[in-house]
Structure 1
Amino acid sequence: MNATIATTPIQARVAYISEPKPSKYGDVHYVGILFRDLSIADDDNPDSKIWKNLSSEDSSLYMAGDIVELRPRYDDKNKLHHDIFVIEQVNSPAPVPKNAVVATTTGDQLEPPSAPGQWSLKQIQAALSRPLPQSLLSTRREGGKDLTYISWHCANRILDKYAPGWAWEITKLELADKALFMVGSLSIPCSDGLIVQCASRTESLDCSSYGDPSSNAESMAFRRACARFGLGLYLYDK
């Protein structure tokens, strides 16, 4: 990509998204995304190919076929970067879980909101319902089956990004019959108003798994409340 092109906004198509790869600098996983400059008709022209390495979390914003604008920006060391803005999102050719809600209209804002209440509930659900990168998922053995799930701290970070201003509160806690019963409420401010979803969990006090009954119950209740907003909901499909 030459200097003239690099200093002007570029309209491009998401041509390829790689599998997540671990960074040598820590636990972060990165995904390579190939953008093709729409102003260059020849796909074999090397100037039409623009590679960007994004974190797995950031890469979940984009799907193959999306039309984006790459806007140049220089950092304090005069190094060129490109901010990515989605112009039009199309359905990915890859299969999507049946419960996933994907925003496909041109007018939907796909960049993360910058303030609480900026997005509508529909926009938040569309962002949270996207299939998650494999690097953000965990697996545990339960009842003779391997269960795939999202950890509470990953869900926390995703809410921070797509639902700023969210709040979690334990609203009920009871002990009975050697078990702990917990109810929590997840509140997300939207342009439609404050939306609240509740979820519960019962955990045995004789905890044989990792953690303790209280933290395990809260983790599950929190993740269930997140699923009510779409986050990881497809993982509950049997």
Structure 2
Amino acid sequence: MASSVQSHLLSRLSVYAPSRPSFLSISRSFAAKASAPKPRESPLLEPAPADDEEVPTSGISRPLSEILKEVGKRVPDSLVKTRVEDDFSIKYVPWHILNRILNLHAPEWSGEVRSIVYSADGKSVTVVYRVTLYGTDAEIYREASGTASVEDTNYGDPVQKAEAMAFRRACARLGLGLHLYHEDAS
């Protein structure tokens, strides 16, 4: 089963291999993960396909405009979390949920930390993160930054917190979860 899914995906992605050699290994990894049975944890996941059923991949071999249209849809309220910082209630989508949404609608996406910079006084850290989406006709990237206090360890490591914040903001610049930034303004 895994080899048939893998060969199917690779045949559909062969146009990308010359320009992104590392993409070939990523697609093989994705094909292996796609064929593994997954527990039903959230509305984003589909039941595992039967052995003779082809694995659906909504993002592969689609124009960028279609991918952006899917990514720009409103995130279901059941996936939105709230936390309180400095007496303010903040709505957000956890980074791992955004990751799953990107994997579902834009499996060719990539992300990278562009820089990690500590403030001159060493009290805060800023991370710049880039998210890139690949369509059949184009690719697009957005970068954003996130900053966390080195002393604030309530939500984990400060660098990880800043990275997650930067990732969420870069996703919002592509439309994913952008509605959360507008709800508080009204």
User: RCO greater where, 1 or 2, for CA within 8 Å and sep 6 or more?
Assistant: 2
Query: What is the aligned partner in structure 2 of residue 193 from structure 1?
Result: 138
More strand by share: 1
TM-score normalised by the chain length of structure 2:
0.66
Residue 124 and residue 75 in structure 1: after superposition, are their counterparts in 2 closer, same or farther (change >3 A)?
closer
Work out whether residues 183 and 221 of structure 1, in 8 Å CA contact, stay in contact via their aligned partners in 2: yes
Q: Does 1:136 align with 2:79?
A: yes
Letter in 2 for 1:231: L
Work out whether residues 129 and 144 of structure 2, in 8 Å CA contact, stay in contact via their aligned partners in 1: yes
Shift of 1:171: 1.0
Aligned equivalents of 1:145, 1:217: Cα separation in 2: 18
TM-score normalised by the chain length of structure 1:
0.53
Cα distance per residue 1:88-136 (max 9 Å; x no partner): xxxxxxxxxxxxxxxxxxxxxxx712x2xx2223212211121222221
Q: Secondary structure at the match of 2:108?
A: coil
Letter in 2 for 1:129: G
Aligned runs of 1:1-238 on 2, under 5 Å?
Answer: 28-29=41-42, 56-57=43-44, 75=50, 112-113=58-59, 115=60, 118-176=61-119, 177=121, 178-237=123-182, 238=185
**Paired-residue identity, %:** 36
More helix by share: 2
Which of the pair has more CA radius of gyration?
A: 1
Which segments of 5 or more consecutive residues in structure 1 lack a partner in the other structure? 1-25, 30-55, 60-73, 85-110
Residue 75 and residue 126 in structure 1: after superposition, are their counterparts in 2 closer, same or farther (change >3 A)?
same
Shift of 1:75: 4.6
Cα distance per residue 1:183-220 (max 9 Å; x no partner): 11111111232211111112111114210110000000
Q: Secondary structure at the match of 1:57?
A: coil
Which segments of 5 or more consecutive residues in structure 2 lack a partner in the other structure? 1-38
Q: Secondary structure at the match of 1:122?
A: helix
Aligned equivalents of 1:121, 1:75: Cα separation in 2: 30
Residue 27 and residue 145 in structure 1: after superposition, are their counterparts in 2 closer, same or farther (change >3 A)?
farther
Aligned equivalents of 2:44, 2:116: Cα separation in 1: 33
